[in-house]
Amino acid sequence: MNKIITFFLLLTFGLTQAQQLNCTVTVNSDKLTNANQQVFKTLENSLTEFVNKTDWTGENYKQNEKVNCSMYITVLSNNSDQFSCTIQVQSSRPIYNSSYSSPVLNYNDKDFSFRYTEFENLLFNPTAFESNLVSVISFYSYMILGMDDDSFVLESGNANFEVAQNISNVAQQSGYKGWSQIDGNQNRYFLISDIMSPSYSEIRKTSFEYHSGLDVMAKDLKSAKEKIKSALLNLNKLHASKPNAFLTRVFFDAKSDEILSVFSGGPSITVADLIESLNKTSPLNSGKWELIKY
């Protein structure tokens, strides 16, 4: 009976026609010499099909509703079926009444190793660890979907985050790096456990209110800037209890350039308090905050 259930789960997640992601997958092997380039091209094509044709949520998205994202995989070494890589995951969402897309996630995972044989089937089974390749790609697919949902409706990404957390929990037993808290304090384990923790709820509130501000920029630019500023000032609460939080860095890795752009033009608002806050919550980007015009 369990085998039958698993079979139907694989059908549900792998073979249905409803898809939610519009993802560009790139596998870069330029760092390798004398390598069989065909296997990397096959991997790239297989991952592109896997991410874009898997039904991750069961929801029907129109083509223009799919979440735009990319996964850029850099191969550091390859020995037979063993691959050591990094993966840069990025996603964006459209802003109402504009042609602009706002970055939501921009994360570089440096602990991405896996086994892969050319032309092997990639199937996501939510109840079991099939391979680290499938687990990592599926994990980030759900993180992308959850963070996209959160940007539209407060904490609406929970269902997707719960699946990502389940993937993380199952994968912890695999021995691959990045799934456990003993692998460091800035990895997949903490990315999902922190975002699901009430202690970090302010970061999700900031994301929602920040994007809500962007969505009204076409209607009232000054009011939108005030709303975005208020959302960013809200991070002071998180900083007070969790200074230099991992999720705060993840947020600013996606948003720092955009924040600079938002507050460097258009109708002026008071930004002295904002700059002070940004220097406190994201000191690594202090050079950008210096460029914000008063």
Q: What is the pLDDT of residues 45-102, one digit of tens each?
A: 999 999 999 999 999 999 989 999 999 999 999 999 999 999 999 999 999 999 999 9
**Residues 6 or more apart in contact with residue 170 via CB below 8 angstroms:** 127, 128, 129, 135
pLDDT at 46: 98
50 is written with which tokens? Answer: 């896997």
Q: What is the mean pLDDT of the chain?
A: 93
Please give the average per-residue pLDDT across 223-249, as a whole number: 97
pLDDT at 81: 95
pLDDT band, very low/low/confident/very high, at 36 (cuts 50, 70, 90): confident
**Residues 6 or more apart in contact with residue 1 via CB below 8 angstroms:** none
pLDDT at 120: 96
pLDDT exceeds 80 at position 131: yes
Q: Which residue has the higher pLDDT, 232 or 185?
A: 232
pLDDT at 173: 92
Question: Cβ(83)–Cβ(75) under 8 Å?
Answer: yes
pTM for the predicted model, two decimal places:
0.93
**Residues 6 or more apart in contact with residue 222 via CB below 8 angstroms:** 266, 267, 269
Candidates 70, 74, 72; CA nearest to 85 is 74
Question: Cβ(85)–Cβ(75) under 8 Å?
Answer: yes
Question: For the chain, what percent of residues have pLDDT higher than 90?
Answer: 88
Question: Cβ(283)–Cβ(239) under 8 Å?
Answer: no
pLDDT exceeds 90 at position 12: no
Dist. CA 28–CA 26, nearest whole Å: 6
Question: For the chain, what percent of residues have pLDDT higher than 70?
Answer: 94
The 10s digit of each residue's pLDDT in 246-273 is: 999 999 999 999 999 999 988 999 999 9
pLDDT at 13: 42
pLDDT at 18: 73
- Give the residue carrying structure tokens 């735009």: 68
Q: CB pairs under 8 A, 24+ apart, for 258-262?
A: 258/102, 258/103, 259/228, 259/232, 259/288, 259/292, 260/288, 260/289, 260/291, 260/292, 262/214, 262/225, 262/228
pLDDT band, very low/low/confident/very high, at 294 (cuts 50, 70, 90): low
pLDDT exceeds 50 at position 4: no
pLDDT band, very low/low/confident/very high, at 27 (cuts 50, 70, 90): very high
Q: Which residue has the higher pLDDT, 236 or 13?
A: 236
Q: How many CB atoms lie within 10 A of CB 126?
A: 16
pLDDT exceeds 90 at position 159: yes
